[in-house]
Structure 1
Amino acid sequence: MKCKLVLPVEDCECKISSTMKGFCSKCMCPVCLNFDCANNTRSWVRCDVCSHCCHTACGLELIFIKSGPSLKGAAGTTEVQFHCMGCGHASEMFGYVKDV
């Protein structure tokens, strides 16, 4: 394991870690299943709730990154969100998009 994390990941009950033997939420993309230890870069997006990440390109390709109802803005407004395939939570991406 590139990140040296002991598998299985402890205390993770999401549908990714609980069904994929050998999956590492620290350095594997749940979409393409490739290892990548550069997970603190803009090439990754991370869930605000369960902290699972996926490559930005994979998230865009499979529509896990899309417009959704604003989580913090006025009713009826939309924003770009990452919809986590592990827990289903929608994380707003304003800070991510602003920094890119």
Structure 2
Amino acid sequence: LALREVAVGKVDLVAKKLKNTPVKQLVEIKSELWLILEGINGCRHIDEFLYLQGLVQGRRDLTPATLRMAHLVQLQVLVAIKTRNPGFVDSATVDIPHSHLAEVLLNKRCWNIACRSALPAKDCRCSICVSRSGFCCSCMCIVCNQFDPQSNSCRWIGCDDCRHWSHTDCAIRDGHVRAGPNPNRAEGSGYVEMLWAMWRCFIGANLAIALPR
């Protein structure tokens, strides 16, 4: 069974084949994808990844009903390709339940392995969390939609009024950080701070203090 077949084959048929596939071959399929995602062979692996991702993104048969029939390795491969996250096919990664993998594919769960919050995270119903497919306000940058392992650092700034965070450099680049009066201080105090303006948040024009995450 080839990696491409796992990526594009009909869910129930591939699941049946994988069920009868020796463990050694299952490991080889995941290892092959891990190497591709890590880009070990440079441009060749990048091209192969883009091809695989195109196959997965073009599928319309990945529904809750069909994914319930999927083999665990099949889901790991599909999720890893969709998210370009090699952690999903890394044998050292903590086991992720079948149901969680299916929810990641359906944009119902965060694809950050360290987070894996159900979406929308924290039950946030703002316009961003509701409309931006796969976005997780618990761990992702509101500007670039990415997460990183250095969550508890000055690389992140957050809003006191809403539940969103941003990389400091993303916020500065997009003009979210600016000098202004702190709305939480007494009016007319003249105290000026560097503030993060979460202009795309449902709160609208409110300003919030930029705090280290």
- For residues 129 and 189 of structure 2, what CA distance do their matches in structure 1 show? 34
SS of 1:18 mapped into structure 2: helix
Cα offset for 1:49?
Answer: 1.6
Instruction: State the TM-score, normalizing by the size of structure 2.
Output: 0.40
Match of 2:141 in 1: 29
Return closer, same or farther for 1:26/1:38 CA change in 2, 3 Å cut-off. farther
Output the amino acid matched with 1:18: V
Task: Check conservation: 1:67, 1:81, Cα contact below 8 A.
Answer: yes
Q: Aligned runs of 1:1-100 on 2, under 5 Å?
A: 1-2=111-112, 3-71=115-183, 72=185, 75=188, 77=190, 78-84=192-198, 85-86=200-201, 87-88=203-204, 89-93=206-210
User: More displaced, 68-77 or 42-51?
Assistant: 68-77
Deviation at 1:23, TM superposition (A): 0.4
Q: Which runs of 5+ in 2 are unaligned?
A: 1-110
Letter in 1 for 2:150: A
Q: Matched residues in 2 for 1:44 and 1:90: separation?
A: 16
Moved over 6 A (4+): none
Higher strand share: 1
Structure with higher RCO (Cα < 8 A, 6+ apart): 1
Q: How far apart are the structure 2 equivalents of 1:11 and 1:26?
A: 10
Q: CA RMSD in A?
A: 2.1
SS at match of 1:68: strand
Quote the sequence identity (%). Answer: 32
Q: Calculate the TM-score normalised by the size of structure 1.
A: 0.78
Max radius of gyration: which structure? 2
For residues 52 and 8 of structure 1, what CA distance do their matches in structure 2 show?
12
